Amino acid sequence: MKRLAFVSLLLLVSMVAAACVPAKPAFECTDEIGCVDIAPDEPIHIAYMQPLTGAAVVYGESLKGAIELAVADRGGQLLGHDIKLTGFDSGCSAEGGETAATKVAADPTIVGVIGTTCSSAMTAAMSTINEAGLTIISQANTSPKLTDPDETWEPCYFRTAHNDLFQGMVAARFAYEELGARTAAAIHDGDPYTEGLARAFYDAFIGLGGEGVAFEAINKGDTDMRPVLTTIAANPPDVLYFPIFEPEGNFIAAQSVEVPGLEDTVLFGADGLTVATFAPSTGEAALGMYLSGPYITGDKAAEFMRKYEEMHGEKPPGPFGEHGYDAINILMNAIEKVAVVEEDGTVHIGRQALRDAVTATSGFDGITGILDCGPKELVPGKTFYGDCATGEALAIFQVDAEWIASEDVYEMGVHPPVVWTP
């Protein structure tokens, strides 16, 4: 009986002692724009906003394949949780960007976003993404306005693609210094990417000592480019720069040979045309054309291509796949850095903390170079925000007969042969 009483007393003391141990306080989000809470059995949800249909779909396909590879390289998990990827079709337009952003913002489980491809889509999406407290990293946007605080930039936004202030200068230097051009014209289609790059080239060319003779615009969807080409031919330039996507870029190239006065004008496109479908669909009119755009070399790039092809059965159908791989890895690194993980596996991610962690990214040794996402003075006296790239991974390509004739353009790479690097 005494033994039973002793055991009962011991049990009571243990219960009282346990009751006196303070319970671990529940997580309290103090992040100024909120937190994402992920239960032990829930995935870490990352969205991508890309052209999943339409003429620019090759960019979306390349990005999707690249981020799937990056996730696979981490074993499909982050912080012990599966990684869930969800695609939203942003197309290559303001309307598409706005629609996709609205859908993304409506899902509170999404931690971050990779996108968009087209600067026009991002311009329209920016405010919605920012107001939702999300972080977005683009693999392909290049418009200078997107990282300019006096223009479009908002704190949600970063990119691993180069700023077109870099590409415009590279293209202008090649035209002026290597081709010996002294007059130049440019065509854009009115969206932030094409107009921004055309303007960057045009101004840089003039700054080098050249003469700008025409700065013209077409509309997306135009098929007859003869009117604008005829206007330019009235004062034929040495070089015509048109940083435009398919199919409008194809029409400009093909129809330029029909316009008297442009026989000696060098045609010069940009990364919107460094896609596998450009030369086959344009034909002989593309022969000899120059294209400016991203150019990634080195062992990491070769390994990326090998693994991409092994996983997907083909090489990326368009450019910026490597940039997408770097973008999602920067995002995942930042998530790991700021996440609060509880004993049961619950994860809490502060939304402002995530933005701060991406901004603090420095010395990131990516496929596309050493990336630093902090503020940069790209123009004397003017700071830009969200530009992670330095513009080092750029080159000039030239479409040649062998590339056009190749039954499988992948035999020679997605882009034509490189003829110059800065």
- pLDDT, tens digit (0-9, with 9 covering 90-100), for 189-222: 998 999 999 999 999 999 999 999 999 999 999 9
Domain-embedded: residue 72: yes
**CATH number for the domain that contains residue 78:** 3.40.50.2300
Which structural domain range is residue 72 located in? 35-161+320-391
- Dig out the tokens for 344 from the structure: 């049961």
Q: Which amino acid appears at position 148 of this protein?
A: D
**What is the chain's mean pLDDT, rounded?**
92
pTM of the model: 0.86
- Using DSSP bridges, classify how beta strands 382-384 and 376-379 pair: parallel, antiparallel or unpaired: antiparallel
pLDDT of residue 17: 45
Phi-psi map region of 76: left, alpha, beta (phi>0 left; psi -120 to 50 alpha): left
Same domain, 101 and 235: no
Cβ atoms of residues 66 and 58 within 8 Å: no
pLDDT at 11 over 60: no
Domain-embedded: residue 303: no
pLDDT of residue 13: 45
Same domain, 272 and 177: yes
Nearest to 272 by CA among 240, 241, 252, 245: 245
Based on the structure, what is the number of domains in the chain?
A: 2
pLDDT of residue 180: 99
- Dig out the tokens for 194 from the structure: 């094409």
Domain-embedded: residue 3: no
Nearest to 88 by CA among 123, 55, 40, 122: 122
Same domain, 43 and 182: no
Same domain, 363 and 223: no
Domain-embedded: residue 256: yes
Same domain, 146 and 55: yes
Percent of the chain with pLDDT over 90: 82
